[in-house]
Amino acid sequence: MIKIHPPLLVVLLMTAAMVLVSGGMVWGWPLWAVVLVGCGLLGAAYGLTYRAWKQVSEQQADIQAGLRQLKRISGSKERLPSPARSGDLNIESVRLNHMVDQIQTRVADLEEERAKIVAVVENLVEGVLAFDPKGEVLFSNPSARRILGLEAKVLQGLTVWEVIRHQELAGLVEACRHLALHETRYAEVELHSPVPMVLEVYALPVPFSNKKQGSVIVLHDVTELRRLEQVRAEFIDNVSHELRTPLTAIVGYLETLLDEPTLETPNNRKFVQVAHQHAERLSRLVNDLRSLSEIESGNIVVRHEVLQLGSVVEDVCEMFQSQVLKKELQFINQINGTLQVLTDRDRLIQILVNVVDNAIKYTPAGGTISFQVRMGGERVTLQVRDTGQGIPSRDLSRVTERFYRVDRARSREEGGTGLGLSIVKHLTQLLGGKLRILSEVGKGTTVELDLPVSVEKSSS
């Protein structure tokens, strides 16, 4: 069967209609017969023409829709041809091929970026696990599988509780899917299987389609670090314990010699006084090291109780009254006597003793040391402000480090150990508070202790 193109058939029908009408007029056919035959042939031509045009229009609309979709995918900014100017489908075919090439290039670039990311994550020392919104494993790197004792072949598609046999760790992943995107969670957990280890775990949510969230956890093995910290703490504790007994004896004998009247020679008393001074400093250093070791090892028991903050500050001021009078300084306590805080009295006094001791050492004669509070919701901020020499801005971030001194010569001269502010920082954290140090050279230093308010709130 021969297939005739619709436009050619239309032309043939219209030609036949013209021939029949002309022949009918020559041969004397009735007018109605000529009109009827001509209208029939023209109607057939119209029907074929309309059908062919409709097919072309539908094809053109489909091509336009496809081009628009491809344009969105490829990110092309080229203007698409309008239907009125797209009679020639070759133009659209060329543009379609061009967009396909763009998409292929973009897909190749994305695949290359994906390969780079996978290569980096696969070789990380830290373990990485990704979960979808259903809690099933999407991705895991070799480090994560090694840490959790899992096999790659059976890992894909398993749920959180099937992969992670640790309640705290699995609960962290579950809770992470309900966090805001900017939030993260951190925990330090101990695993006992497949091998005992300590992990630092960071968990964060990952956005998926339909406003659902998955989660990613990063596992950092800190077992060796914690072991070394334990070794260091035990060493410091043992050394300080062993040094306390001989130091106590040395200080005691030197004090006895200082009271001996036969020591009145040009140099003997001076030598003994220097030895006594350094023995006391060494004794303070050993005591501070022992205190710091106890704090870091978690051996200190915190006993929270409701305290009147103003009364605690007054007790600390009484301890330093002789030093303040000797140096012509002044204490200013601006704390309301009814203000209460919920904390450990002994630890708070230990914090204030170290802070006030530093303030006295570095405040010149005639200066002041003031105590103020600032309320804020469930917290109270205790401020200890002096008018001393201040701390340079470059040193502020390091003054709480062990043995760090801004002025080393002055610190040794004053008998400082370099551990005071480090003890203050650790004790404040132990009490659930925060430490901030503000200072300006030549104008003084402000130490802020952020502490929880007691259940019975009071106005300052």
The CATH number assigned to the domain holding 230 equals 1.10.287
Asked if residue 115 is part of any domain, the answer here is no
Mean pLDDT of 372-381: 83
Asked if residue 316 is part of any domain, the answer here is yes
Instruction: State the average pLDDT for the chain.
Output: 76
440 with 313, same domain: the answer is: yes
pLDDT given for residue 1 in this prediction? 43
| Range scoring the smallest mean pLDDT among 138-142, 150-154, 421-425 | 150-154
174 with 231, same domain: the answer is: no
Asked if residue 367 is part of any domain, the answer here is yes
41 with 153, same domain: the answer is: no
Q: Kindly report the CATH number assigned to the domain that includes residue 137.
A: 3.30.450.20
Last residue of a domain, one of 221, 241, 268: 221
Asked if residue 397 is part of any domain, the answer here is yes
What is the per-residue pLDDT across 60-119, written as a single tens digit (0 to 9) for each? 676 666 666 656 655 555 554 454 444 455 666 676 677 777 777 888 888 888 888 778
Residue 267 gets which letter from DSSP? T
pLDDT given for residue 24 in this prediction? 60
173 touches 187 (CB < 8 A): no
- Report CA-CA distances (Å) from 370 to 132, 314, 339: 56, 11, 17
pLDDT given for residue 87 in this prediction? 47
Q: Could you give the strand order of the β-sheet that contains 434-440, starting from the edge strand earlier in sequence?
A: 330-333, 368-376, 379-386, 444-452, 434-440
pLDDT given for residue 76 in this prediction? 53
434 with 317, same domain: the answer is: yes
**Tokens standing for 49?**
């023409």
pLDDT given for residue 206 in this prediction? 82
Last residue of a domain, one of 195, 221, 247: 221
Contacts of 83 (CB under 8 A, 6+ apart): 57, 60, 61, 64
pLDDT class for 457, splitting at 50, 70, 90? very low
Asked if residue 118 is part of any domain, the answer here is no
431 with 321, same domain: the answer is: yes
pLDDT given for residue 212 in this prediction? 77
> Looking at this protein, which amino acid is placed at residue 315?
D
Last residue of a domain, one of 297, 328, 357: 297
The tally of domains found in the chain comes to 4
336 with 432, same domain: the answer is: yes
Q: Is the pLDDT score of 4 beyond 60?
A: no
Mean pLDDT of 428-448: 87
Mean pLDDT of 345-351: 88
Residue range of the domain that includes 314: 305-452
246 with 327, same domain: the answer is: no
| Range scoring the smallest mean pLDDT among 68-77, 212-221, 280-289, 371-380 | 68-77
pLDDT given for residue 3 in this prediction? 44
Q: Which residue has the higher pLDDT, 292 or 92?
A: 292
322 with 439, same domain: the answer is: yes
What is the per-residue pLDDT across 202-236, written as a single tens digit (0 to 9) for each? 888 888 776 778 888 888 888 888 888 788 777 87
288 with 310, same domain: the answer is: no
